[in-house]
Structure 1
Amino acid sequence: MQDYLLKGLLLSFVFYLGLILLARKNYRGVYLLSGFYAGISFLLSLFFLLFHGSSQAAVFPLGLPGTGAHFRIDSLSAFFLLVVNLASFMASLYGLGYGSHFAEQQRILPFYILFLGSMNMVLLAADMFSFLFFWELMSLSSWALVMSSHKEKETAGAGFIYLLMAVLGTFALLFSMSLLASHSGTFSFEGMSKAALPSKSASLVFALALFGAGSKAGLVPLHAWLPRAHPAAPSHVSALMSGVMTKVAVYGFLRIVFDLLRTQEKWWSYLLLVIAGVSMIAGVLYALMQHDLKRLLAYHTIENIGIVFVGIGLAMAFKTYGMVAASALSFSASLFHVLNHSLFKNLLFLGAGSIQSSTGSRDMEKLGGLVSKMPYTAFAFLMGSMAICALPPLNGFVSEWLLMQSILLSPQLPSWGLKFLVPSIGAFLALSAALAASCFIKVYGITFLGRPRSMSAMAATETDRWSLLALYFLAFLCLLWGVFPAPVLHLLGPAVGLLSGGEYFNLSGKPFYEPLSLNIDRNAYNGLFLILLLGGFSLCILFMVLGKASPYARKTPAWDCGYPENSPFCQYTAGSYAQPIRKVFGPAFFAVKEKVVCLSPWLPKPARIFLRLHDLAWEYGYLPVARTIDRWSAKINILQFLTVRRYLVLVFVTLVVLLLSLALMLQ
């Protein structure tokens, strides 16, 4: 039966590519058929996971001569197919309404089709050539989507940085898989997984895979492109890039390190945990400093990818020391957070797109008071904000709770280094959750509450019905899988078993409403009881307020810090809210340069503050390399102005040097 599932997925991809012929004519038709393609792929992957199908492969006479194109579906690829296509369905549904707000649909639709299809094919590819071909197609199509708004400021720079990092990441994956192929003598994943690599070669494969997949996922310090490229794309594309494409990168890393390599060195988990921990804290701190709504959400993707890789690093540490059950728990937390992040990050990006479509701005300092203008969007955005802050009973809490449960198992590790490192990562996880809550209090308060800060915010109207349908469906899933997480954990169980070595938590015999406990020695989570408890407390508070309150209404001015000025300037701003955190973390993380100009009290002019934040990874890691390349490019540029005779001399000298080098190598 699984043979038909794989062929159905491949056949649906071929038919889906035919939409490119219609892409410039009818955006609603393209989005409808895109949603249909994503829905079919989602159902096929769900069917595979439900019935625990065994891996099934197929080979087609395409790709490299003599090898063919290999495709395969197993529990790991099926789970990520479910993640990709659920989010793609929601983005396509949102695009039905968003398309009417975006003037240049002809720049989006052909590449949108390629983007969705290539992400699916990366997950099905089972040989080196096919994987890298569709990986690069995914990168190039998403770059074209970023450049769809090429007339906007900074878009060209964001597109260039993204393309550069995408190419470097693909080269790293190419060399990583080439090492595996050289030891196995084949380009297929099945043959690569049987190769026995020496320790140094395996470590080099791991490092290259971490660079290649980590740059696409947005791990620090490879993150510099992400907060520039993701906000530049259309909102439903930003949602897919941030919520889905980064998860395809996670899949690539898992496929290489845990499936093709088979064995792991003990020091790999140390490196992975440190990088993931720094990514968590740096991502949320950079997000706190942002005023651009979409850029803030992009930085939060870095934080959540750090959380995912913390789970992977913990699972690797447990697995190398033979603690299979603890490894399975960590993988469960990590994969569940992959799914959860794709939901609430899509919800938040689509909500940000609705705000931008309605107000024409994504600068929080120009928004405010939108809860009365866009009440339905405000409620959906509140649900996404609570989910990303890991507040119960929403889904973000469950995956981080599971991750904390696996961190509590770290004292059983025999390595003293990990006994000290893992609790520190646990403290980082708690700190990142607290900072995320602070950040989204700022986001929601400045954007939706208070008084409108501009005429565009004052004139805002509710978004269209298609967009609201997508927002509320995502919000419903965030609540549903936070209250009843057991069915989802049962679905990802086979993938966890593949990664951890054959052991996972089978929840098929338990009712979905029972408390969730993946380890009998740890606490259980009961989402249904929690939501009933919260509802009961809310009703009690409401009854007490209504019962004890005075029946007489009294109207008074809102508290305004002692200034009776009815002005939007007499309220908190995004910058003033973040100031205390900037004071604490600014010197270490941002190298903050702050200057306050306070004029004489006799002059009727306001005081001004000049503030500059620095992205240290960008300024000290990327800019020096870029400037060096520019200098050498200017020197080498003279080659294009040579005469014909000088070109012939240059070709002759190059040929002689190559022949001499070959002769020396053969001696």
Structure 2
Amino acid sequence: MTSLSVILSCVVMFLLTGALGVLMGRSHRATPAIYGLCLLPSAIAFATSLMHLATSIVDAPTLVLPIGLPWLGAHFRLDALSSFFLLVANLGSLLSSLYGLGYGRHEHAPHRVLPFFPAFIAGMILVLLADDAFTFLISWEFMSLASWALVMAHHRNADNRRAGYLYIVMASFGTLTLLLAFGLLAGPKGAYGFATMRAAEHAPLTAGLVLILLLLGAGSKAGLVPLHVWLPLAHPAGPSHVSALMSGIMTKIAIYGFIRITFDLLGTSMWWSGLIVLMLGAGTAAFGILHALMERDLKRLLAYSTIENIGVIFVSLGLALAFKADGMGLAAALALTAALFHVLNHSFFKSLLFFGAGAVLTATGARDMEKLGGLIHHMPITSFTFLVGCVSISALPPFNGFASEWLVFQAILQSPDLPQWALKIAVPAVGGLLALSAALAAACFIKAFGITFLGRPRTASADEVAEVDHFSLAAMCVLAGLCLLTGILPGAIIDGVSPVVFSLVGERMPRQMDIPWLSIVPIAESRSSYNGLLVFLFIAVSASATIFIVHRYASRTLRRSAAWDCGFPESSPSTQYTAGSFAQPVRRVFGTLALRARERVDMPAPGDLRPATFSVEQQDLIWEGLYVPITGAVGFAAEKLNRLQFLSIRRYLSLVFLALVFLLLVLALWS
């Protein structure tokens, strides 16, 4: 039995588990049964994809099933690229299922989640295995519909209904643009198989149109600005383990679609395509983290942070496209390795952070950081694992976020060798913007951890909490360990993804595990190197020595004094820093231009007993500048086209005839 057949069997198991969720309905045994059954196919598919990636460098088994289009069938293929993303997807689904065993017991309506959770995982796996356009689009739409059902699980909430509506509209738009992109790749002969597309020659104009359509289709699913508007609404709307799947895994499926088409099916690349992707990625990173820093809703903050990390990945992909177009194979391999490494890392720490947010929500019933605080005393394990996620996503050594973002900057440093002046100027500017985004990310997650877990409880619900269940803690601890392990041993990951990189750009980075002391050397030792293990040992030894010296040699004289109160003798929790006050300096620097932030202070006159009030107004310029006019235009057009419902039969026939003539003209000109 081939690896491909095993993974397709796992898809069948997921679908049968979803059907069992429908049959079990509201049974109290449904939650442990469904999530427990999801563990098995997730583990099997993960192990199979890992073995295939590790042992099958060239082998890419295929399978054709007699379903789908009659003349085409359904083609499936398992190559190095699919194996890597299957590894990411199935590890995420495995840990989400484990987390769901505990978290799912607190769901108000589990029967609205359980049937669609395994179906969602099955849809993502089918996208990664599809080897023809029809199967890809059907799987893509199935994935979108299953995730939409999970977003709408708590549909009685008006915000969730709005999020679901916006998500399904953007998902339909994305599928339409991907359909058009595949139509251009297939050509007038309708060659919808990926193998035929891969072997065909594509004109520069066709390649450019496909890239634009792909950025609209895959970019909308990934959360690329300005197509991001659904993401900060939809990702927090579902249960927390579903949010982890959507932010940590589903966005990577969109990145897979982008890589599959641009690097594999299109074949040749143009330098200007790399410039477009690069600039969009940089803008996405800066926009996402700036909005995340302004948020006080913990899950919305994490959703906006996903947008920032998607921007980092697209910057790396844009660099890889530019380097590949200019024949700089080693630099292209470095940039693509950085992108794939960050794909894996983001799936780890973003899933961990959403799990932590879910634990906080379970314990306190609140997502608003202004209502939290002091949780570290009652939830020490959740606090520690969430801190690991915060340090990782802030790209601080020795955790994994630093390793992949360091590789991105090493790829940026190769830009002086590019021949185009547009790239010579743009890439360093993008590097500066990424550095700013990294600094803002650190500030953002200092706020997220500090306001949520440190200080004093701001409400009674934050003061009367307990640690969450063991299943949830186990999932978080595994992810925290993976964040550290991949940070101190990045060479193993770089070598692991080298078959993927070689299959796409024809080059690979030097083997890293052969380098002494487990260092990683992207280009040459004379330029730069990094050793995560030594950094980890240095931090551990330094911290241990400091603790020992302080406890061994500090004065044992006991002195008691009042704690420093920062000049505020009032002990009320309201005197603490809030999420809004923490973000105020950044808001005053960037918010006026980027968010049109306005601060309003109502200070009563002397003698007036009214309380003073302070409020902040922020605007999403992309929503108001792009989507509001579009929705207005659509509404106006719909009102005018409504007259078509009341035409006579002769006018209907005339309209159909004119539409047929127009389509025939298009077909004649295209062919």
Q: Report the TM range for the smaller structure's normalisation.
A: over 0.9
Residue 6 of structure 2 is matched in structure 1 by 8
Distance in 1, Cα, partners of 2:111 & 2:510: 47
Summarize deviations over 1:588-623 as a string: whole Å, max 9, x none: 110112211111243344321121111111111111
- Given that residues 269 and 314 in structure 1 are in contact (C-alpha distance below 8 angstroms), is that contact kept between their aligned partners in structure 2? yes
- Given that residues 14 and 122 in structure 2 are in contact (C-alpha distance below 8 angstroms), is that contact kept between their aligned partners in structure 1? yes
Q: Give yes or no for the alignment of 1:125 onto 2:130.
A: yes
What amino acid is the match of 1:20? G
Residue 568 (structure 1) shift: 0.5
Deviates more, 1:9-18 or 1:599-608: 599-608
- Given that residues 7 and 48 in structure 2 are in contact (C-alpha distance below 8 angstroms), is that contact kept between their aligned partners in structure 1? yes
SS of the equivalent of 2:444 reads helix
Q: Give yes or no for the alignment of 1:654 onto 2:655.
A: yes
Q: Give yes or no for the alignment of 1:399 onto 2:400.
A: no
Summarize deviations over 1:429-449 as a string: whole Å, max 9, x none: 211111111111111111001
What amino acid is the match of 1:35? L
Q: Give yes or no for the alignment of 1:218 onto 2:219.
A: no
Distance in 2, Cα, partners of 1:449 & 1:555: 23
- Given that residues 334 and 508 in structure 2 are in contact (C-alpha distance below 8 angstroms), is that contact kept between their aligned partners in structure 1? no
Residue 557 (structure 1) shift: 3.4
Summarize deviations over 1:54-107 as a string: whole Å, max 9, x none: 112111111101111100010001000001111111100000000111121110
Give the counterpart of 1:366 among 363, 366, 371: 371
Residue 113 (structure 1) shift: 1.2
Residue 260 of structure 1 is matched in structure 2 by 265
Residue 32 of structure 1 is matched in structure 2 by 36
- Given that residues 512 and 520 in structure 2 are in contact (C-alpha distance below 8 angstroms), is that contact kept between their aligned partners in structure 1? no
Residue 639 (structure 1) shift: 5.6
- Given that residues 493 and 505 in structure 1 are in contact (C-alpha distance below 8 angstroms), is that contact kept between their aligned partners in structure 2? no
What amino acid is the match of 1:15? M
CA gap 1:191/1:541 in 2 versus in 1, 3 angstroms: same
Distance in 2, Cα, partners of 1:474 & 1:445: 21
Give the TM-score taking structure 2 as reference length.
Answer: 0.95
Deviates more, 1:514-523 or 1:294-303: 514-523
Task: Report matched runs for 1:58-69 at 5 Å.
Answer: 58-69=63-74
Give the counterpart of 2:518 among 514, 517, 522: 514
Q: Give yes or no for the alignment of 1:158 onto 2:158.
A: no
- Given that residues 560 and 570 in structure 1 are in contact (C-alpha distance below 8 angstroms), is that contact kept between their aligned partners in structure 2? no
Residue 183 (structure 1) shift: 5.8
What amino acid is the match of 2:175? T
What amino acid is the match of 1:22? L
Residue 661 (structure 1) shift: 5.2
Give the counterpart of 2:51 among 43, 47, 68: 47
SS of the equivalent of 1:154 reads helix
Residue 591 of structure 2 is matched in structure 1 by 586
What amino acid is the match of 1:388? I
Task: Report matched runs for 1:339-378 at 5 Å.
Answer: 339-378=344-383
Summarize deviations over 1:162-209 as a string: whole Å, max 9, x none: 111101111111100111111664111000011111111111011111
Residue 611 of structure 1 is matched in structure 2 by 616
SS of the equivalent of 1:66 reads coil
Q: Give yes or no for the alignment of 1:481 onto 2:481.
A: no
Residue 432 of structure 1 is matched in structure 2 by 437
Distance in 1, Cα, partners of 2:578 & 2:656: 65
SS of the equivalent of 2:76 reads strand
What amino acid is the match of 2:364? T
Q: Give yes or no for the alignment of 1:227 onto 2:228.
A: no
Summarize deviations over 1:11-37 as a string: whole Å, max 9, x none: 221132111232142111111111211
Deviates more, 1:78-87 or 1:530-539: 530-539
Q: Give yes or no for the alignment of 1:134 onto 2:139.
A: yes
Residue 638 (structure 1) shift: 5.8
Residue 566 (structure 1) shift: 1.3
Q: Between the two proteins, what is the percent identity of the paired residues? A: 48
Summarize deviations over 1:234-274 as a string: whole Å, max 9, x none: 10000000010000000000000110000111211111111
- Given that residues 23 and 110 in structure 1 are in contact (C-alpha distance below 8 angstroms), is that contact kept between their aligned partners in structure 2? yes
- Given that residues 410 and 522 in structure 2 are in contact (C-alpha distance below 8 angstroms), is that contact kept between their aligned partners in structure 1? no
SS of the equivalent of 1:243 reads helix
Residue 517 (structure 1) shift: 1.3
- Given that residues 291 and 365 in structure 1 are in contact (C-alpha distance below 8 angstroms), is that contact kept between their aligned partners in structure 2? yes
Residue 635 (structure 1) shift: 4.3
Residue 492 (structure 1) shift: 0.7
Task: Report matched runs for 1:116-515 at 5 Å.
Answer: 116-182=121-187, 185-507=190-512, 509=514, 514-515=518-519
Summarize deviations over 1:118-139 as a string: whole Å, max 9, x none: 1001000000000000000011
Residue 17 of structure 2 is matched in structure 1 by 19
What amino acid is the match of 2:548? F
Deviates more, 1:588-597 or 1:238-247: 588-597
Residue 626 of structure 2 is matched in structure 1 by 621
- Given that residues 512 and 521 in structure 2 are in contact (C-alpha distance below 8 angstroms), is that contact kept between their aligned partners in structure 1? no
CA gap 1:338/1:562 in 2 versus in 1, 3 angstroms: same
Deviates more, 1:607-616 or 1:541-550: 541-550
Distance in 2, Cα, partners of 1:419 & 1:67: 45
What amino acid is the match of 2:16? G
CA gap 1:198/1:235 in 2 versus in 1, 3 angstroms: same
CA gap 1:123/1:439 in 2 versus in 1, 3 angstroms: same
CA gap 1:199/1:629 in 2 versus in 1, 3 angstroms: same
What amino acid is the match of 1:648? I
Residue 634 (structure 1) shift: 3.8
Give the TM-score taking structure 1 as reference length.
Answer: 0.96
What amino acid is the match of 2:32? R
RMSD (Å), alpha carbons: 1.8
- Given that residues 14 and 121 in structure 2 are in contact (C-alpha distance below 8 angstroms), is that contact kept between their aligned partners in structure 1? no
- Given that residues 158 and 229 in structure 1 are in contact (C-alpha distance below 8 angstroms), is that contact kept between their aligned partners in structure 2? yes
Q: Mind listing any 5+ residue stretches in structure 1 that lack a counterpart?
A: none
Distance in 2, Cα, partners of 1:499 & 1:508: 22
Q: Mind listing any 5+ residue stretches in structure 2 that lack a counterpart?
A: 25-29
What amino acid is the match of 1:4? T
Work out the number of aligned pairs and report it.
Answer: 660
Summarize deviations over 1:265-298 as a string: whole Å, max 9, x none: 1211111111111111111000000000000000
Distance in 2, Cα, partners of 1:657 & 1:553: 94
